Structure formats: structure tokens, C-alpha cells
Amino acid sequence: MKGDTGAAGADGEAGPRGPEGQPGSPGSTGSRGPSNGYYFETNSDKPFVNGETLGTIELPAGNYIVMGKLWLDNQDSTSGRAIRCYMKTASTEIDRGKSGLAVNGGRAADEQVMTLIGGTELSTAGEVALSCDVYNGQPETPVTPPNARWTRLTAIKVDDLARQTP
């Protein structure tokens, strides 16, 4: 005949640490991340008037951070100029800027750098364009148009694009 099971005894002391195991086999290579860069540049002087496109980038569908930069130079020695520049897709304005240029006289005030930046989502392949116009309350066509030079347009494809507004 067998008696009742007794109470469990106290845990014993931990044993010594065992030897280190062998390294595991390498994992498979993950997929490439979503980042691609696209770039347009020109160093030429390009006179512009109303809404003239100064640079474009063709992009596949996706989400992008887009940056544009131009050096604006007033060529008119009799009148200052108000310049508006836009960075946009076929259907969406991404960013805009406005700058006042002094009368051309060899001074720094008749030249300025404008930088535009923003994010955009393209549901299909499309174009981002950088354009400028001369504006004095309304678009105008000056006899001596200003120049854009050292124009740059850059797009970086990103996986997610989250817009935050105040």
C-alpha cells in the first residue's frame, strides 16, 4: 500500500552556468527601404516672365519630400521687381514664396535666393515643377525680365508622409 504524497521540498541552489551556445545562422536580407532621390539642376541664367517653368522632375507614384532653390536676379536697371515662385504638381501647390528685388545696380539687394520645401503624394506617376512670375499686384511682363540661375529641384521618396498642421 502506498501512502499520501508529502509536501514539496525547498528549491535547490542554482547550478553553474552552462557553456555559451553556438551562433545562429544569419537571417535573410530584408527588403530595400522606400528611399529614392530625384534631382534636377541647371546653372544657366534663364530669363522668366509669367508662370514660366524653370525646372521639373518626373516622379513615379509615391510620397515625397520636395525641395526647390533658385537664385533670383533682377536685370532691370530702372525698376525693382516682386517675384513669386511656386513648386507644384499638376493638381497641387506644394509651396510658394515671394521676394522683392531692388533695382539692378550691382548690389546684393538685386539678387536673392529663394527656397521652397514641402511634401506631396502622387497617386500616379507625375511631375513636380518649379515656376516663377513677376508680380506687382497682378502678373506683369517686364521689358527686361529677371533671371533665375543655379536652379535646383530635389525629391526624396519616403514610405509615409504625415501632414501636421497647427
pTM of the model: 0.75
Using alpha carbons, list the distances in angstroms from residue 72 to 5, 93, 95, 147, 155.
Answer: 94, 20, 17, 6, 21
Predicted confidence band at 158 (pLDDT cuts at 50, 70, 90)? very high
| 69 is a domain residue | yes
| 130 is a domain residue | yes
| 15 is a domain residue | no
* Domains: count for the chain: 1
Dump pLDDT digits (tens) for 81-139: 889 999 999 999 999 999 888 888 766 778 889 999 999 999 999 999 999 988 876 66
Specify the DSSP element, H or E, that contains 37. Answer: strand 37-42
What CATH number did the domain enclosing 127 receive? Answer: 2.60.120.40
Could you tell me the residue range of the domain that residue 114 belongs to? 51-158
Predicted confidence band at 33 (pLDDT cuts at 50, 70, 90)? confident
| 106 is a domain residue | yes
